[in-house]
Copies of this chain bind each other. A is one copy, B any other.
């Protein structure tokens, strides 16, 4: 039985999910082959008798693990002989902080700007579900949330300062070699790049150079899905 990672897919087989990106890079980091099987938003509840509401879901030869953190822990425990995702508990805990930074400082800015783009790239059968659930969260229409978004570019760029300052001093968040913190942060940028019809960054931004380095890893895994240019 093959190793399958169920992966969120939009139109043109765009792979949107930041959580799935980190799990795909985690599998590659450990040298494990896998099939990233595309699933639409509304197809997920039909997998495994509806046991999981979100992807990624890893099916490792019949052993099913859902949730990106559970998958990372499973991979380090099941394949201890492969390169570890976490050198120890402190690195794992600081990856939680990296995630909290993204979801505390960046996603609240980005979600209103990108929700309409995500809708427009979702599979046709997923669009009604996506619009309804996201407009409820945003408290307004997707169109209203995106209005004037070009005036919020400075805020987005400023919010990326911590990442920018870090990768000016070292190639990756985890130093000379990329690690799970990079996969978390780059996963979010892949989410952005999958759908954004408005380039958010400047071409010479060190964040862009870092993202290109992460995309190059593991045989260019980060380039195996259609992406927009994230920078002008």
Contact = CB atoms under 8 A, between A and B. Distances in A.
Contacts of A98: 94, 97
Chain A interface SS verdict (over half):
helix
Given A91-B87, A94-B181, A181-B94, A104 B161 contact: yes
B105 A161 contact: yes
Contact of A93 (B101, B165, B175): B175
A213 to B, nearest CB: 14
A183 B90 CA distance: 13
Interface string A112-155: 00000000000000000000000000000000000000000000
Contacts of A103: 165
Contact of A88 (B91, B96, B159): B91
A89 interface: yes
A219 interface: no
Interface residues of A, number: 35
B170 A100 contact: no
A176 interface: yes
B93 A170 contact: yes
Interface of A: 86-98, 100-101, 103-105, 159, 161-166, 169-170, 172-177, 179, 181
